[in-house]
């Protein structure tokens, strides 16, 4: 379990995260939702250690991440997989090399073991036969799936996804959501997803933390997100005419 | 202004500390080092040779025009061309050319990796991105650039020889005699010392400006310009300092 206790983050004078208290449960898809600029990405960067909070604690199974030694940080990072918003595939490498990269750097597996694992991961994300393609030759959805394959290559305990379906059509978004959900349960991963996609919220949100202007405004799950009486959450969820119409019809 | 400059200098030294750490995987480091040496060496060889031949040719013509006195020995042309080319023109001018060529390539490569979160991806995997990406570039530059300068010196002298053959400003024999007169091994030590330091500055400063980018494509452009300007400035100042100390 990952817990955030009174986490605050400042950029100069500006407080971007304001005493956040929440937790992300093991073996579940945990969503962080909120409008653009609400602090979701900053929160995720704090979670994975790319930024450090000025106040508060981030606990991985009860241990404070920011008190870890460099060796311990390296060790816990080898248990993390991350899917970035823009996929962040290494563009000088083929898809096979991209997926193999963490295995090469973090394990001492033989070539045959690595290539077996790469092919397994690519098959799992439905990218069989794309081994020798470069990221520039892939569509947006394929890049996201390749990034997921790279993220799961080392059997991570924690999977972080920063807006995994931004810039994708609704159908592909749904496929990516399903893939994240299946992988989380298949490999018992603690998954944290940053999103503002309402489809994701109502289909895969096993726990949901709603961030509003740096505050944790609401916490719940996909079953009660549509029936909440929190005004700010409702403004966010029912912002689009389509969701407003569905609410009116029901 | 002064505070900003001091902050950037401090940041640069912290960056170097991060770069000069033991690579995570030696095999991967050597693979990247060979790739970089190939890209830097082979990629710059043609332009370096062309510029060197032209430079040697121009220096020979200019020098010949200045020493048309019967009192000056004929071998002076070859001697002056050799001294100018070896001691100053090739090490400095070719390095400045490489700042524009290799330096901007390094800044763009590292900067675009920063902008597209590829560097963040390395960090999340627990890999020291500065050491993984930049150490092979610096070591490669320190090995390859002095070699390129030696090749450039050779081609500049060839350029001068061709000019002598075509324009008859001196006889080829007297030109060659001048090239080999009063040669000191220390000159070569001086050139190699100077270019090794220049190579380190070129690669580390360019990488630093690419690595510290925050923002998007606009910042990448600014970082590229800053990398070239700052590297060139430091190289010119160091040229003065090293020349004062070593000669």
**Per-residue pLDDT tens for A74-101?**
788 888 899 998 889 999 999 999 999 9
The closest of B87, B130, B117 to A150, measured between CA atoms, is: B117
Residues 48-107 of B with CB under 8 A from A: none
Task: Return the structure tokens found at B115.
Answer: 């902008």
Residues 154-173 of B with CB under 8 A from A: none
What are the two backbone dihedrals, phi and then psi, of residue B46, each rounded to the nearest 5 degrees? -60, -50
Residue B133: per-residue pLDDT: 95
The closest of A109, A118, A112 to A146, measured between CA atoms, is: A118
B121 CA to chain A: closest CA distance, Å? Answer: 7
**Residue A246 in this model has a pLDDT that exceeds 80:** no
Does the distance separating the beta carbons of B121 and A85 come in below 8 Å? no
Q: Quick check: B87 and B188 in contact, CB under 8 A? A: no
Nearest chain B alpha carbon to A90: B118
- Among A24-38, A195-209, B46-60, name the most confident range: B46-60
Rounded distance between C-alpha atoms, residue B108 and residue B137, angstroms:
13
What are the two backbone dihedrals, phi and then psi, of residue A226, each rounded to the nearest 5 degrees? -85, -15
Q: Does B123 touch chain A (CB under 8 A)?
A: yes
Q: Does B120 touch chain A (CB under 8 A)?
A: yes
Rounded distance between C-alpha atoms, residue A156 and residue B225, angstroms:
40
A79 CA to chain B: closest CA distance, Å? Answer: 8
- Decide: helix, strand or coil at residue B32: helix
Residue B7: per-residue pLDDT: 92
Residue A215: which region, alpha, beta or left (left: phi > 0; alpha: psi -120 to 50)? Answer: beta
Residue-wise pLDDT tens digits, A135-178: 999 988 889 899 999 998 988 999 999 988 887 888 888 888 88
B114 CA to chain A: closest CA distance, Å? Answer: 10
Does the distance separating the beta carbons of B126 and A75 come in below 8 Å? yes
Interface of A with B (CB under 8 A): 48-50, 73-75, 77-78, 80, 82, 84-86, 88-91, 101-102, 104-106, 160
Does the distance separating the beta carbons of A77 and B125 come in below 8 Å? yes
Question: Predicted ipTM?
Answer: 0.85
Chain A neighbors of B25, CB-CB under 8 A: 104-105
Residue A34: which region, alpha, beta or left (left: phi > 0; alpha: psi -120 to 50)? Answer: left
Rounded distance between C-alpha atoms, residue A97 and residue A131, angstroms:
8
**Residue A250 in this model has a pLDDT that exceeds 80:** no
Rounded distance between C-alpha atoms, residue B23 and residue B28, angstroms:
8
Residue A86: per-residue pLDDT: 87
Report the residue count for chain B.
Answer: 247
Measured in whole angstroms, the distance separating CA B105 from the mean position of its chain's CA atoms is: 13
Chain B neighbors of A49, CB-CB under 8 A: 123-124
Residue A210: per-residue pLDDT: 92
- Decide: helix, strand or coil at residue B238: helix
Chain A neighbors of B30, CB-CB under 8 A: none
Chain B neighbors of A88, CB-CB under 8 A: 116-118, 120-121
**Residue A190 in this model has a pLDDT that exceeds 80:** yes
Residue B164: per-residue pLDDT: 93
Does the distance separating the beta carbons of A105 and B125 come in below 8 Å? yes
Does the distance separating the beta carbons of A90 and B118 come in below 8 Å? yes
Task: Return the structure tokens found at B157.
Answer: 């002298």
Q: Quick check: B211 and B130 in contact, CB under 8 A? A: yes
**Closest partner CB to B121 (pick from A74, A82, A106):** A82
Name the burial class of residue A197, with classes exposed (0-12), middle (13-18) and buried (19+) by CB atoms within 10 angstroms of its CB: buried
Does the distance separating the beta carbons of A86 and B25 come in below 8 Å? no
Q: Quick check: B60 and B163 in contact, CB under 8 A? A: yes
Rounded distance between C-alpha atoms, residue A36 and residue A232, angstroms:
14
Q: Strands A158-162 and A55-60, how do they pair?
A: unpaired
Band (pLDDT 50/70/90 cuts) for residue A225 is confident
What are the two backbone dihedrals, phi and then psi, of residue A126, each rounded to the nearest 5 degrees? 65, 40
Residue A170: per-residue pLDDT: 83
Looking at the DSSP bridge assignments, the partners of residue A32 are A194, A209
Q: How many Cβ atoms from other residues are within 10 Å of residue B167's Cβ?
A: 12
What are the two backbone dihedrals, phi and then psi, of residue B155, each rounded to the nearest 5 degrees? -70, -30
Task: Return the structure tokens found at B205.
Answer: 């400063």
Q: What angle do CA B221, B225, B228 make, to 5 degrees?
A: 140
Task: Return the structure tokens found at B173.
Answer: 């024999």
Q: How many Cβ atoms from other residues are within 10 Å of residue B126's Cβ?
A: 22
**Closest partner CB to B124 (pick from A50, A75, A91):** A50
Residue A122: per-residue pLDDT: 92
Task: Return the structure tokens found at A25.
Answer: 């449960």
- Percent of chain A residues topping a pLDDT of 90: 41
- Decide: helix, strand or coil at residue B210: helix
**Residue A243 in this model has a pLDDT that exceeds 80:** no
**Closest partner CB to A86 (pick from B117, B126, B127):** B117
Rounded distance between C-alpha atoms, residue A223 and residue B197, angstroms:
64
Does the distance separating the beta carbons of B24 and A105 come in below 8 Å? yes
Chain A neighbors of B116, CB-CB under 8 A: 86, 88, 91
Rounded distance between C-alpha atoms, residue B92 and residue B232, angstroms:
10
Residue-wise pLDDT tens digits, A46-72: 998 888 899 999 998 888 887 888 778
What are the two backbone dihedrals, phi and then psi, of residue A217, each rounded to the nearest 5 degrees? -90, -35
The closest of A145, A212, A205 to A173, measured between CA atoms, is: A145
Residue B60: per-residue pLDDT: 94
Does the distance separating the beta carbons of B124 and A48 come in below 8 Å? yes
**pLDDT tens digits in sequence order for chain B, 247 residues long:** 788 889 999 999 999 999 999 888 898 999 999 999 999 999 999 999 999 999 999 999 999 988 877 788 888 899 999 999 999 999 999 999 999 999 999 999 999 999 999 999 998 888 889 999 999 999 999 999 999 999 999 999 999 999 999 998 888 899 998 888 888 889 999 999 999 999 999 999 999 999 999 878 888 999 999 999 999 999 999 999 999 998 7
Band (pLDDT 50/70/90 cuts) for residue A241 is confident
Residue A38: per-residue pLDDT: 87
Instruction: Find all residues with CB under 8 Å of B10, minimum gap 6, and list them.
Output: none
**Closest partner CB to A105 (pick from B25, B116, B120):** B25
């Amino acid at each position: 379990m990952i817990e955030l206790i009174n986490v605050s983050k400042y950029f100069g004078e500006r407080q971007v995260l304001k005493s956040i208290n929440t937790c992300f449960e093991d073996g579940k898809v945990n969503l962080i939702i909120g409008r653009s600029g609400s602090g979701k990405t900053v929160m995720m960067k704090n979670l994975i250690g790319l930024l450090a909070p000025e106040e508060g604690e981030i606990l991985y199974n009860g241990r404070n991440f920011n008190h870890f030694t460099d060796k311990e940080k390296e060790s816990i990072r080898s248990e993390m997989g991350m899917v970035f918003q823009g996929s962040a595939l290494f563009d000088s490498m083929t898809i096979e090399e991209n997926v193999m990269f963490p295995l090469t750097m973090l394990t001492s597996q033989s070539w045959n073991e690595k290539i077996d694992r790469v092919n397994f991961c690519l098959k799992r994300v439905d990218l069989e036969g794309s081994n020798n393609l470069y990221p520039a030759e892939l569509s947006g959805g394929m890049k996201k799936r390749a990034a997921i394959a790279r993220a799961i290559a080392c059997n991570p305990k924690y999977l972080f996804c920063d807006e995994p379906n931004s810039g994708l059509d609704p159908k592909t978004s749904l496929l990516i959501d399903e893939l994240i959900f299946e992988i989380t349960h298949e490999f018992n991963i603690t998954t944290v997803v940053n999103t503002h996609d309402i489809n994701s919220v109502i289909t895969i949100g096993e726990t949901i933390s709603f961030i509003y202007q740096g505050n944790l405004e609401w916490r719940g799950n996909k079953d009660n997100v549509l029936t909440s009486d929190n005004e700010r959450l409702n403004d966010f969820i029912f912002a689009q005419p389509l969701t407003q119409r569905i609410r009116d019809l029901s | 202004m002064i505070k900003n400059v001091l902050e950037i200098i401090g940041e640069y030294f912290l960056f170097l500390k991060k770069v000069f750490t033991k690579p995570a995987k030696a095999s991967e480091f050597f693979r990247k080092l060979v790739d970089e040496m190939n890209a830097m060496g082979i990629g710059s060889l043609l332009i370096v040779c062309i510029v060197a031949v032209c430079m040697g040719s121009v220096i020979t013509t200019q020098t010949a025009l200045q020493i048309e006195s019967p009192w000056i020995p004929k071998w002076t042309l070859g001697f002056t061309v050799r001294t100018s080319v070896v001691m100053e023109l090739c090490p400095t001018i070719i390095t400045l050319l490489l700042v524009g060529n290799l330096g901007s390539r390094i800044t763009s490569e590292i900067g675009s990796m920063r902008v597209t979160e590829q560097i963040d991806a390395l960090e999340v995997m627990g890999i020291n991105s500065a050491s993984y990406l930049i150490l092979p570039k610096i070591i490669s530059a320190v090995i390859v650039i002095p070699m390129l300068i030696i090749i450039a010196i050779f081609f500049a002298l060839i350029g001068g020889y061709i000019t002598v053959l075509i324009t008859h400003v001196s006889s080829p024999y007297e030109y060659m005699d001048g090239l080999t007169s009063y040669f000191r091994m220390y000159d070569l030590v001086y050139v190699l010392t100077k270019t090794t330091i220049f190579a380190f500055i070129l690669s580390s400063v360019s990488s630093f400006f690419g690595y510290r980018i925050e923002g998007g494509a606009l910042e990448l452009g600014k970082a590229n310009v800053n990398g070239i300007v700052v590297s060139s400035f430091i190289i010119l100042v160091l040229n003065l300092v090293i020349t004062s100390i070593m000669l």
